[in-house]
Each structure stands twice: as C-alpha cells, then as structure tokens.
A = this chain, B = another copy of it.
Amino acid sequence: MGEVVMGRQRPGTPTLEEVAARAGVGRGTVSRVINNAAGVKDSTRRAVQRAIAELGYVPNLAARSLAGRRADAVALAMTEQDWRLFGEPFFAETVRAVSDALTDTGMQLLLTLVRTAAERQRFVEYARGGRVDGALLMSVRADDPLPDMLAEAGLPTVLLGRRSGDECVTYVDADNVGGARAAVAHLLDGGRSRIATITGPLDMYVAQCRLRGYREALDRAGIRSRSSWEAESDFTEESGRRAMAELLERHPDIDGVFAASDTTAAGALAALRAAGRRVPGDVAVIGFDDFPLAQRTDPRLTTVRQPLEEIGRALVRLLLEEMEQPAVAWRHVILRTELVLRDSAP
C-alpha cells in the first residue's frame, strides 16, 4: 500500500552520484566540477556538465551544508520596530546596499522578521542550527537581547548601529553626533539662532547621538540649549508633524530646525506649511538622511547624508572577517557623514 510520506522534498531528484554514473566518472570529480575547483581535465569537465544538464541536476544544499559545515547564506534580522520603519528609504537602501555587497560572495541574503519572543526563539534556533553563516542586525534597541544571544552562541554577528556607547558586539555605525553637529553649525553659519530639533525615539542610541550633536553645536556657539526647543518623535512623518506643531506653539519665532530623520523632516515641513511659514525663507530645515522624502515638496533641503553603500560594504566585510577568524576581538567602524548643501539662501 502507498504509505503517506511526510517528506516535503520531491522524490526522484537526481543526485551527484547519478550524475557521476552518467558521465562515467567518480563522485569526487563531479563535486569538483560543480564547485569550479581547478584540476579537472577540460573534456571531463564538459562531460560532467552535459550529464548535469541532461539530468537537470541541482545540488542538495542540506547535504552540502552538512558535509561542508557552512550554509552559504547570511541573515539580516529586523525587529518589530524596524518593521514599522520599513517604509523609510534608509531601510530599503541599506538592504539594497548589503545585497549588492553580497553578490560577489555567492551567499544568499535572507531577511527575517523577529517581532515576537516566539519568532526570536525560532530565529535563534535557525541561526544556531547552522542555516546561516552569520547575522546582520538592524537598528537594535537598547534592550534588545538578540545580539548577545547570537554572539554568545558563537555566530558571527554584526550590528548596524549600536545599542549604547559601550557596545561590544561588532558594529557599523554612522557618525551621528558629528553629522548633527555639522547640520546645526550650518544653520548657525547661515545666521539662524533660534534653532529647534525634532529628535528620534530617545531609547535608541542613534537618536541620543543626534540630539547630543545638536546640543554640542549650540554650546559651541555659546547658545544654551533648552529642552523646550527639543521635541521627540518616533521617526514617523506623523510624529514629526506633531512635534513641529508643538515646537511652533512653544516658540513661534523658530528660524531653524534640525530633524533627526528624513521622514521626520517631511512631517516638520508639512507642519510648517500648515502654520503659514515659508521654508527656507522663514524657517530652515535640515534633516538627517539624504532622501527624497522630505524633498518631495518644493524646497530643496540641505541634508546629512549617510554613506549607505559604504555601510552595506562595511557590514558585509566585517561579517566575512568574523566568519574567517574565531572571534578574537570586536570590530567597530564609524562612517563619516556628509552635509549635502541645497539651500543656497540659508
């Protein structure tokens, strides 16, 4: 009687051994051919390739993984908060950059959602189970235990951003303090002096850094920073709008705004418009992240550009390094940010 098979993989899939038989060679030779190893006579190689084509052979990756002790894949994990920021260009562009940086390595990039505790558990088992050779973690929150769980399990792990000033786990970050400082300094240079800021969620280190840069720039100019000039957002456009409205109410004479994200800057713009302010005539706005979002509407804003291509490359490079060597040290890379000037009349 035909028993019910619980296996999911189609039967009858040709194996390396069948290819070897058909090509009239040993299994080792076939293995060399499919792995592009040197030292195979050209005629043999072609014979094997023909057999592969005729049989429609595809290597079984589980077997390769088991024998070769590697997965040829890396995960990029995103938490629930990341997911809500999904729409942000920063997010999509970074993933794209990582994907590009990975093309040469032949490794498959796997994006995974880690929203609940159950999903985190499953992901950890997946990663520790050897289905990926390493993990990239996006914009981790201060209280996120995932990096440590993976790092302690010995899985090569690299963070995009850090959880705090004394982060240990290997990470790539942008110079958030410096970028914010440069932005505010630019506003000051342009003759603005009543400068407010819309911060990101302050439980994220990145938001703390950008706020610090804002304050430092004011300090250096001899301006005492005050909390009434600071309003928190959660990096969404809507919260940026609200924060801006709030700031305007507190300080109708604002003439400059530093927004901690591109999306937030877009919200700020909308709120300023709604309040009848001209931008940048009455109020100059500088946003972190150089994306079209805040610029969909007319005024070409000056922005702080993060070098996303570089970030993607650095993430992959560090991950590869972690994979090559046993984890002897944490490696940190902080990439310079750049002010992109667009407001000719500051």
Binding site for B on A (CB under 8 A): 6-10, 58-66, 68-71, 73, 83, 86-89, 91-92, 95-96, 99, 103, 106, 108-113, 115-116, 118-119, 122-123, 125-126, 128-131, 133-134, 153-156, 237-238, 296, 323
Contact = CB atoms under 8 A, between A and B. Distances in A.
A120 to B, nearest CB: 12
Given A9-B69, A62-B62, A87-B86, A111 B112 contact: yes
Contacts of A70: 6-9
A327 B77 CA distance: 33
A71 B66 contact: no
Nearest to A133: B8
A9 B238 CA distance: 45
A108 B130 contact: no
A310 to B, nearest CB: 20
Nearest to A91: B86
Given A8-B70, A112-B108, A126-B108, A119 B131 contact: no
Contact of A71 (B62, B106, B128, B134): B62
17 contacts: A7-B69, A8-B323, A10-B154, A60-B66, A61-B131, A62-B130, A64-B129, A83-B92, A86-B86, A86-B92, A96-B115, A103-B118, A108-B112, A110-B111, A111-B112, A111-B113, A237-B296
Contacts of A8: 69-71, 133-134, 156, 323
The list of the 7 closest CB pairs from A to B, nearest first, reads A61-B129, A7-B69, A87-B87, A62-B65, A111-B111, A8-B70, A62-B66
A22 to B, nearest CB: 19
Contacts of A153: 58
A130 to B, nearest CB: 5
Most central of A70, A106, A108, A128 by chain B CB within 10 Å: A108
A70 B96 CA distance: 30
A63 B66 CA distance: 6
Nearest to A128: B58
Nearest to A123: B108
A66 B9 CA distance: 10
Contact of A129 (B6, B7, B58, B106): B58
B60 A130 contact: yes
Nearest to A4: B324
Most central of A9, A91, A99, A115 by chain B CB within 10 Å: A9
A296 B238 contact: yes
Given A129-B58, A129-B61, A95 B108 contact: no
A112 B109 contact: yes
Contact of A125 (B58, B129, B155): B58
